[in-house]
Chain A
């Protein structure tokens, strides 16, 4: 099952922790908000992604399973 990293932009307050912990997937824009590579993550990258999500002070960073992303 594949996973993706996503941010809840309403909850995000630009602490920037995620870019420190997951630099291979996340860079910060000029205002400090994460720009995320949303291609699937697996293996070590997935572990790093989960660690980054847990470290987010506002719980804005999400690691979602593909099937959670149902759309209308």
Chain B
């Protein structure tokens, strides 16, 4: 959508600046309060209240920086890329409003360097705004696009802070949290791109409008990336609380029998086939299953895939995607992957199942970031949901389905070090 089309559909954003210092401040507080009343939760995966995060940054004396995080390194996720390709100005509006709300003078949009179409549409949208003399959004605000490596942990908040400071896109030891001390040691508000699009809409239409959709604990609509054996996999906008079966129906229906759904991405959890029809897309519903919507990723696994072979491949992939910074994660995820591989191969001598439980407790909460926790969460849920299949493999070795091609996406994205970034294209 061009700037002209965007303005024709949504109208101009109710900007907060340029009304005099005191009025600007009041307007900023009102917007944050409105976002608080809307119940908007962050859409990057953690579902943290957006207004709380904004208040933490706004409360600091130092000039803040806002980052729109669209790195979206989760393999099953396309929603932020899709959003920035279809409606970049909505995300930019949200970013500008967030910047004005927390008193920031810089807005940095971070996109994965491998997402060429997203980089292009975002860059074009920024250029359009720069060239439009009537567009007041840039008063006192520097707006820039930065491309970031796309490996799994690159999208974490502290990885962005690290990368933008000239380091590798790897997590930092926290605290200080980015909202206290982030880019240029300034308080940094890092919001997911979809979150900012909702901010842009709430600023225009208000909290009651936003709350018309969704559940009590999770208001509004959400972008969900649905993949698997479907007629039309892709990104869908749903109401929180909608049933998974309605989502599958919207995607043209399943093309094969479904074994299970992975919800919340590769730090998420599996929900077994017999419960699939009843799944509601909200954290209230998913919590008892050990799952959450995360960044809105749903991957359906067909009956023709072997869940043990898929889990073994995924465990190895998650181990390889570690930044290699923290010993317990580096060694622990490697040992976990080896144990799953032994089960998949039918090696019962290893007592691998007990070892997995022990390793899981050794790895959890011992990294600088949450990568080991997410990987363990996923692995334990696979062992639980596919209990029968794992027991079969431990006893009898590989099954007929083991040799089939992988259904779960596992892109080859080497974890990049700082040294390798010099040649990369940047804006």
Residues in chain A within 8 A of chain B (CB atoms): 8-14, 29-33, 35, 68-72
A71 to B179, CA, bound (A): 10
Residues of chain B within 8 A (CB-CB) of A13 are: 327
Q: Which residue of B lies closest to A32 (CB)?
A: B327
B326 touches A10 (CB 8 A): yes
A14 CA / B329 CA spacing, docked (Å): 13
Q: Are the CB atoms of B173 and A29 closer together than 8 Å?
A: no
Q: Residue among B325, B332, B366, B367 with the most chain A CB within 10 A?
A: B366
A12–B173 alpha-carbon span in the complex (Å): 11
B173→A10 contact, CB < 8 A: yes
Closest 6 CB pairs of A and B: A9-B326, A33-B327, A31-B331, A10-B325, A8-B173, A10-B368
Which of chain A's residues have a CB closer than 8 A to the CB of B172?
10
Interface of A (DSSP majority class): loop
Q: What count of chain B residues pass the 8 Å CB interface test?
A: 22
Contact A9 B368 (CB under 8 A): yes
> Min CB distance, B73 to chain A, in Å?
19
Mind listing 21 A-B residue pairs with CB under 8 Å? A8-B368, A9-B329, A10-B171, A10-B326, A10-B368, A11-B173, A12-B326, A29-B328, A30-B331, A31-B327, A31-B328, A31-B332, A33-B331, A33-B366, A70-B177, A70-B180, A71-B175, A71-B177, A72-B56, A72-B177, A72-B179
B52 touches A72 (CB 8 A): yes
Please indicate the chain B residues that have their CB under 8 angstroms from the CB of A10 in the complex: 171-173, 325-326, 368
Residue pairs across A and B with CB atoms within 8 Å: the count is: 50
Distance between Cα atoms of A42 and B180 in the complex (Å): 28
Question: If A8-B368, A9-B367, A29-B362 touch, does A69 touch B175 (CB 8 Å cutoff)?
Answer: yes
Q: How far, in whole Å, are A31 and B173 apart by their CA atoms in the complex? A: 20
The minimal Cβ–Cβ distance linking A1 to chain B, given in whole angstroms, is 17
Contact B327 A72 (CB under 8 A): no
| CB neighbours of B327 from chain A (8 A) | 9, 12-14, 31-33
In the complex, whether B209 has a CB less than 8 A from a CB of chain A is: no
- The answer to whether residues A9 and B325 also contact, given A68-B175, A72-B52, A72-B179 and a CB cut-off of 8 A, is yes
Least Cβ distance of A12 to chain B in Å? 6
| Cβ of B351 to closest chain A Cβ, rounded Å | 15
> For residue A9, which residue of chain B has the nearest CB?
B326
B47 to chain A, nearest CB (A): 13
CA distance A68 to B116 in the complex (A): 42
- Give chain A nearest CB distance to B366 CB in angstroms: 6
CA distance A10 to B366 in the complex (A): 10
Further pairs besides A30-B362, A33-B328: 8, Cβ < 8 Å? A9-B329, A10-B173, A10-B326, A12-B327, A13-B327, A68-B175, A70-B177, A72-B179
With a cutoff of 8 Å between Cβ atoms, the chain B residues found around residue A8 in the complex are 173, 368
- B52: chain A residues within 8 A (beta carbon): 72
Question: Would A72 and B331 count as touching, CB distance under 8 A?
Answer: no
Asked whether A72 and B328 contact (CB < 8 A) given A9-B367, A11-B173, the answer is no
Smallest beta-carbon distance A2→chain B, Å: 17
B329 CB, nearest partner CB in chain A, Å:
8
Report B54 CB to chain A, min CB distance, Å.
11
Say whether B48 faces chain A, with CB atoms less than 8 Å apart: yes
Nearest CB in chain A to that of B331: its residue: A31
A12 to B366 alpha-carbon distance, docked (Å): 11
Task: Give the docked Cα–Cα distance between A9 and B362 (Å).
Answer: 13
Closest A residue to B358 by beta carbon equals: A30
Distance between Cα atoms of A33 and B326 in the complex (Å)? 9
B53 proximal to A (CB < 8 A): yes
Chain B residues near A33: list those with CB within 8 A: 327-328, 331, 366
Complexed CA–CA distance, A43 and B367 (Å) = 29
- B366 is contacted by which of A9, A32, A70 (Cβ under 8 Å)? A9
CB closest residue in chain B, given A68: B175
Residues in B whose Cβ lies below 8 Å from that of A14:
327
Query: Smallest Cβ distance from B93 to chain A, in angstroms?
Result: 25
Chain B residues lying within 8 Å of A72, measured Cβ to Cβ, are 48, 52-53, 56, 177, 179
